[in-house]
Amino acid sequence: MESWDKIISMPLPGRTTKPRNSGYTMVIDKGLGVRAIEDLMETASNWIDNIKLTFGTSAFYQENLLRKKIDIITSAGIDIMPGGTYLEVAFWQGVLDNYLNKARQLGFTAMEVSDGTISIESNERENIIKKALDMDFKVITEVGKKDAKESLPHSKMHKLIAQDIRNGAFKVIIEAREAGKGVGIYDSSGAVKENDVNEIISGVEDIDCLLWEAPIKNQQQYLILKFGANVNLGNIPPDDILALEALRQGLRGDTLKRAYLKNPNYT
């Protein structure tokens, strides 16, 4: 008998396949064990492009376990990177080269370059990106401060995004932290501040360059309805990957409804 996706068409069609330039999904991993990672690979590896071992959590694994986990993930065709905070600590402590070498040796394939907590001057940022690229990492940078009191002006954000892309970054993350509340484009309840989204995109040449951290469902829904099924999303909790895919492709009420209202008689 036909497979299920031959019987039913996706209400929001056009979902990209791996390797993706748009429709990128980055998972936030706070410490999944190998059994949980094997479960995740079996159920969802088609829908995951990148797994981030967030904050400095990579520091707490036994090396053997970390290598094994990285191996399972990369074998499934998924990039893996340490959290940007760990790189910031290495930069601050003046041990960036050793840090990058160790990450390479462990098997990490991507590198997040951020300045969410530690100040990093523009020329130093450029230098870090260059070093990581030279070592064959896929570089994903981030704009935005973790502390709401230090929010970045949009004009500066536009400049930084353009510069990072010019310097070879694959994507630029719009910071929202693990919680997605009271930071960047989200208010303290996690609702999207539409003006901020519009101001950000007004100064960006290619929207596919942006990777929006969107840990909460209403955020994912807003961004999918605004930018389409193939918006780039990050900080997705591992348990939510199939639910996100249902949102992206219109198999969940919130995004199905738009497709249905456009064509109620399905012709």
Q: Restricting to residues 59-98, name those near a copy of itself by CB under 8 A.
A: 59-63, 65, 85-86, 88-90, 92-95, 98
Residue 30 token pair = 């706070």
Q: Segment 202-221, which members bind a copy of itself (CB under 8 A)?
A: 217
User: Would residue 140 be called left, alpha or beta, if left means φ above 0 and alpha means ψ between -120 and 50 degrees?
Assistant: beta
Q: Which residue has the tokens 């056009």?
A: 14
For a copy of itself, the closer CB: 182 or 203: 182
x-or-dash string of contact with a copy of itself, 101-140, rule CB under 8 A: xx--xx---------xxxx---------------------
- Binding a copy of itself (rule: CB under 8 A), the pick from 13, 21, 34, 226 is 34
Q: Identify any residues that bridge with 211 across adjacent strands, giving them in sequence order.
A: 173
For a copy of itself, the closer CB: 19 or 264: 264
Residue 147 token pair = 């502390």
Q: Which of 121, 118, 134, 212 is nearest to 171 (CA)?
A: 212
Amino acid identity, residue 107? G
Instruction: Supply the minimum distance, in Å, between the C-beta of residue 178 and a copy of itself.
Output: 8
For a copy of itself, the closer CB: 119 or 198: 119
For residue 40, state whether it binds a copy of itself (rule: CB under 8 A). yes
For 167-190, b/e burial (b = at least 16 CB within 10 A) is: bebbbbbbbbbeebbebbbbeeeb
Q: Which of 129, 137, 143 is nearest to 172 (CA)?
A: 143
Q: Which residue has the tokens 């036994």?
A: 62
For a copy of itself, the closer CB: 19 or 94: 94
Instruction: Supply the minimum distance, in Å, between the C-beta of residue 170 and a copy of itself.
Output: 23
For a copy of itself, the closer CB: 95 or 166: 95
For residue 182, state whether it binds a copy of itself (rule: CB under 8 A). no
Integer Cα distance of 233 and 211 in angstroms: 5
Q: Which of 116, 58, 118 is nearest to 82 (CA)?
A: 58
- Binding a copy of itself (rule: CB under 8 A), the pick from 17, 19, 35, 123 is 35
Q: Segment 233-252, which members bind a copy of itself (CB under 8 A)?
A: 239-243, 245-246, 249-252
Instruction: Supply the minimum distance, in Å, between the C-beta of residue 69 and a copy of itself.
Output: 9
